[in-house]
Amino acid sequence: MIGTKIIDLTLPINNTMGGVSIEPAKTISKDGWNATTLHLYSHSGTHMDAPMHFNVSNETIDVLPVKRFVSKAWKVNLTHIKPKESITVAHLSSIQDKILPGDSILLHTGWSSKIGTLAYRNDLPRISKELAIWLGSKKVNILGVEPPSVADVNNISEVTEIHEIIMRNNIIIVEGLTNLNSLGDNSFTLIALPLKVENGDGSPARVIAIEE
């Protein structure tokens, strides 16, 4: 794989995250090996949503087709975005003529730099209704964002509407990405692998990009 660059886009899971608790279960000195017990909120850190998350359908994380977890993808540079700003179709002008059905899109807002602050959750840039509908018309495979949600988590009407539009258009949502600044401007291969949680509404995921 000479000339290949593999980039990790995943946040580390640790005890500073809401809904996460990691505690010792076994130790070398007492049990002969080290092991921990993980308590994970299904949408903690870098994670993937399943349609059941908003009852759009009965499709759960364990039955999503695995072929969809690997796709051609594009990054959109939105680092100029303002807090709480709505992301519109116009913001995606750099890829509008490039994206094909089945491609994925990652929105680089730089928002992962705000982890640990109130702004990370409360002031996030949001997917507009217009953009959600447009993504569906383009038959996007995966939409990936840096904030913990694609919509205002403090506005249940908005967060429900945007998730429902995206999911009804058969788009997989990945939230909580990081390290998008390491990606170039050309297309790349995106691999997003959730835990196979039976009947899961979502799951933490390991997400990487492969650039040639």
Question: Between 129-137 and 156-168, two packed helices, what is the crossing angle to 10 degrees?
Answer: 10
Q: 199: buried, middle or exposed (CB in 10 Å: 19+, 13-18, 0-12)?
A: exposed
pLDDT at 17 over 80: yes
Domain extent for 152: 5-12+42-211
pLDDT at 3 over 80: no
Mind listing the pLDDT tens digit for each residue in 48-69? 999 999 999 999 999 999 999 9
Q: Which sign does the torsion angle of CA 187, 193, 194, 199 carry?
A: positive
Count up the domains in the chain and report the number. Answer: 1
Q: Which sign does the torsion angle of CA 24, 26, 28, 34 carry?
A: negative
Are 208 and 9 spatial neighbours (Cβ–Cβ below 8 Å)?
yes
Q: Which pLDDT score is estimated for 105?
A: 98
pLDDT at 2 over 90: no
Summarize the confidence of residues 121-141 as an average pLDDT. 98
pLDDT at 156 over 90: yes
Q: How confident is the model at residue 5 (pLDDT cuts 50, 70, 90)?
A: very high
Q: Which pLDDT score is estimated for 122?
A: 97
Q: How confident is the model at residue 151 (pLDDT cuts 50, 70, 90)?
A: very high
pLDDT at 85 over 80: yes
Q: How confident is the model at residue 191 (pLDDT cuts 50, 70, 90)?
A: very high
* Mean of the per-residue pLDDT values of the chain: 96
Q: What does the alpha-carbon distance between residue 155 and residue 80 come to, in Å, rounded to a whole number? A: 24
Q: Are strands 47-49 and 172-175 parallel, antiparallel or unpaired?
A: antiparallel
Question: Pick from 160, 209, 167, 174: which is nearest to 188 by CA?
Answer: 209
Question: Pick from 85, 81, 13, 44: which is nearest to 176 by CA?
Answer: 44
Q: Which pLDDT score is estimated for 22?
A: 97
Q: Which pLDDT score is estimated for 139?
A: 98
Cβ–Cβ contacts within 10 Å for residue 12, how many?
A: 10
Evaluate whether residue 22 is within a structural domain.
no
Evaluate whether residue 28 is within a structural domain.
no
pLDDT at 135 over 70: yes
Q: Which pLDDT score is estimated for 181?
A: 97
Beta-bridge mates of residue 206: 193
Q: Which pLDDT score is estimated for 39?
A: 96
Evaluate whether residue 56 is within a structural domain.
yes
- Straight-line distance from the first to the last Cα atom of the chain, in angstroms, rounded to the nearest whole number: 9
Evaluate whether residue 60 is within a structural domain.
yes
Question: Pick from 149, 85, 86, 79: which is nearest to 107 by CA?
Answer: 79
Evaluate whether residue 33 is within a structural domain.
no
Cβ–Cβ contacts within 10 Å for residue 4, how many?
A: 9
0.85 exceeded by pTM: yes
Summarize the confidence of residues 141-145 as an average pLDDT. 98
Task: Say which residues have a Cβ less than 8 Å from residue 142's Cβ, sequence separation at least 6.
Answer: 68, 71, 73, 104, 105, 171, 172, 173, 174, 190, 192
pLDDT at 1 over 80: no
CATH at 120: 3.50.30.50
Q: Which pLDDT score is estimated for 8?
A: 98
Q: Report how far Cα 80 is from the mean position of its chain's Cα atoms.
A: 20
Evaluate whether residue 25 is within a structural domain.
no
Cβ–Cβ contacts within 10 Å for residue 90, how many?
A: 10
Are 192 and 144 spatial neighbours (Cβ–Cβ below 8 Å)?
yes
Evaluate whether residue 37 is within a structural domain.
no
Evaluate whether residue 31 is within a structural domain.
no
